[in-house]
Amino acid sequence: MRVRVDFDSCDSNGLCAAEAPTVFEVRDDDFLYVLQENPPQELWPEVTRAANACPKFAITLEER
Ligand code: SF4
């Protein structure tokens, strides 16, 4: 799985980071960072929850 974020849509509310903190992080500069673009399979459930939690539909999960 590859994680894509539409940073133009993201408003850095951190909801994805709350679901998957080892994959998404909102830093002090108020930007979202993707820590793992290709998260291991054990993280897929929480990454999926993070994508579903995004109110801006900014997170896309691509099959690889
Ligand atoms: S949940 Fe969506 S809008 Fe919020 S920080 Fe994550 S990608 Fe950005």
What CATH number should be reported for the domain holding residue 58?
A: 3.30.70.20
What backbone torsions phi and psi does residue 53 show, to the nearest 5 degrees? -80, -15
- Residues spanned by the domain of 40: 2-62
For 13-26, b/e burial (b = at least 16 CB within 10 A) is eebbbebbeebbeb
Which atom of ligand 1 is the closest one to the Cα of 59? 7
Q: State pLDDT tens for residues 6-55.
A: 999 999 999 999 999 999 999 999 999 999 999 999 999 999 999 999 99
Q: What is the CA(11)–ligand 1 centre distance, in A?
A: 6
Q: Give the DSSP letter of residue 15.
A: H
**pLDDT score at 64:** 77
Q: How many structural domains comprise the chain?
A: 1
Q: Residue 10 has which token pair? A: 């993201």
Q: What is the CA(10)–ligand 1 centre distance, in A?
A: 5
